[in-house]
């Protein structure tokens, strides 16, 4: 197994690709898959073209995010490239768009195309448009088509908090409002996901919601109840309070699916970063830096426990989580490096929604860390 990782914060698109590829291709002669992560300061089409011109031909999957995660820290402007090759490694990609009228059908169609490759199990890397109003529905359609023989990991594409446009990549091109997906077979891997947020107060019921909009909690205006549960907050203070107090929806195992409130509207409704399930029970959550950092260490330990010798890792970490931690976010990267291995390369992005699941069924999470660790087939 060969792995190479490189990155650059050079302002010119082609110069940054050249520098990142120098690291990514230094140990990989002919990659089977190339992971490409960028930020929105670059010409995304020029980046992909430069990667294809200068790098060895391979399958490509990637996104534009709010930052590039490397073992040395986070770059809020940069390009990161990882290449992997291994005997027996098979990869197929898809770059698909969907429409409001039937996002699940679009996911199923993409799954059918991927399965036509003959790959029947392995890891699915899913990189959707993080701003889409129905990304969770298309993920459900993808899962319905591919089924439980795969594991799922990924994150939502975005930008540097301008909330304007997203970009997704495969070797087929660059798109916005799409999902880039890769099926990977032939590498040992293990995934884990977690966040560190804990419930406070009594249960709530999300009584009226449509996609990303929550209109009522306990059959009352959503902001009214949210504010009341937190001791009364002014609308002008909502952004700062909401960053510290997301909504958590428990599953049957006692884990919490986090939903991040991002705006309060004039009618008292709350807008979230990702779709909100109607009639779900929920808690308002709270957190502090130490609990979130401890959870990051636990995610890394659990992911690494699934392979004998870690050789490479993909990291998808929420931009909102990074903003909450502030300067302490460097400690999160340090914990990942410690548990994955000081010399083991990894690469990732600050994302707008993280994809994974504790039970095999994938969900889109917020304020969460998702991690995939790959082992060497020859050492397993």
How far apart CA 102 and CA 90 sit, in angstroms, is 30
Residues 73, 16 share a domain? yes
pLDDT of residue 57: 84
Structural domain range at position 169: 2-194+291-379
Residues 276, 133 share a domain? no
pLDDT at 163 over 90: no
**Residue 266: Cβ-neighbour burial (10 angstroms; 0-12, 13-18, 19+):** exposed
How far apart CA 153 and CA 316 sit, in angstroms, is 8
Residues 49, 145 share a domain? yes
Count of domains forming the chain: 2
Radius of gyration of the chain (CA): 20
Helices 329-340 and 289-305 pack at an angle, to 10 degrees, of 20
Task: Specify the CATH number for the domain of residue 282.
Answer: 2.40.10
pLDDT at 313 over 90: yes
pLDDT of residue 234: 93
pLDDT of residue 84: 97
Residues 227, 89 share a domain? no
Residue 289: φ, ψ to 5° = -60, -45
Residues 21, 69 share a domain? yes
The residue among 286, 315, 340 that closes a domain is 286
Residues 372, 298 share a domain? yes
Residues 52, 167 share a domain? yes
Residues 237, 169 share a domain? no
The residue among 286, 313, 347 that closes a domain is 286
How far apart CA 367 and CA 105 sit, in angstroms, is 28
Q: Which pTM does this prediction carry?
A: 0.96
Residues 347, 272 share a domain? no
The residue among 259, 286, 313 that closes a domain is 286
Residues 272, 176 share a domain? no
List helix spans (H) across the chain: 13-24, 44-54, 103-115, 135-146, 222-229, 238-244, 289-305, 319-325, 329-340
pLDDT of residue 318: 97
Per-residue pLDDT tens digits for 175-220:
999 999 999 999 999 999 999 999 999 999 999 999 999 999 999 9
Q: Which long-range contacts (CB under 8 A, 24 or more apart) does 234-242 make?
A: 235/264, 238/263, 238/264
How far apart CA 111 and CA 94 sit, in angstroms, is 9
Residues 219, 180 share a domain? no
Residue 309 — very low, low, confident or very high, per pLDDT cuts 50/70/90?
A: very high
> Taking the CB of residue 145, how many other CB atoms lie within 10 A of it?
18
Average pLDDT score, the chain: 95
Residues 273, 227 share a domain? yes
pLDDT of residue 209: 97
């Amino acid at each position: 197994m060969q792995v190479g990782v490189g990155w650059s914060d050079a302002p010119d698109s082609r110069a940054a690709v050249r520098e990142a590829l120098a690291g990514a291709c230094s140990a990989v002669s002919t990659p089977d898959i190339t992971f490409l992560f960028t930020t929105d300061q670059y010409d995304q089409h020029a980046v992909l073209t430069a990667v294809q011109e200068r790098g060895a031909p391979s399958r490509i999957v990637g996104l534009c995010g709010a930052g590039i995660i490397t073992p040395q820290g986070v770059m809020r402007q940069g390009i990161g490239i990882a290449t992997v090759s291994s005997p027996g490694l098979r990869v197929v990609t898809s770059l698909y768009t969907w429409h409001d009228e039937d996002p699940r059908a679009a996911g199923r169609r993409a799954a059918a195309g991927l399965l036509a490759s003959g790959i029947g199990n392995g890891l699915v890397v899913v990189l959707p448009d993080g701003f889409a109003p129905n990304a969770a529905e298309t993920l459900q359609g993808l899962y319905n088509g591919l089924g439980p023989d795969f594991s799922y990991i990924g994150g939502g594409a975005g930008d540097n908090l301008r909330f304007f446009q997203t970009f997704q990549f495969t070797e087929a091109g660059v798109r916005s409002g799409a999902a880039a997906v890769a099926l990977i077979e032939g590498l040992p891997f293990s995934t884990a996901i977690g966040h560190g947020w804990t419930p406070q107060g009594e249960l709530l019921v999300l009584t009226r919601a449509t996609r990303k909009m929550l209109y009522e909690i306990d059959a009352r205006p959503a902001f009214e109840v949210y504010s009341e549960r937190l001791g009364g907050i002014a609308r002008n203070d909502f952004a700062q309070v909401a960053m510290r107090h997301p909504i958590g929806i428990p599953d049957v195992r006692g884990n919490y699916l986090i939903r991040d409130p991002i705006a309060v509207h004039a009618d008292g409704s709350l807008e979230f970063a990702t779709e909100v399930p109607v009639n779900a029970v929920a808690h308002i959550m709270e957190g502090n830096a130490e609990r979130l950092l401890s959870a990051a260490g636990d995610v890394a330990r659990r992911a690494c426990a699934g392979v004998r010798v870690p050789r490479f890792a993909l990291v998808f970490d929420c931009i909102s989580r990074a903003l909450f931690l502030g300067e302490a976010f460097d400690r999160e990267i340090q914990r990942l490096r410690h548990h994955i291995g000081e010399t083991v390369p990894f690469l990732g992005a600050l994302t707008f929604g993280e994809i994974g699941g504790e039970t095999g069924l994938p969900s889109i999470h917020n304020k969460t860390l998702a991690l995939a660790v790959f082992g060497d087939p020859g050492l397993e």
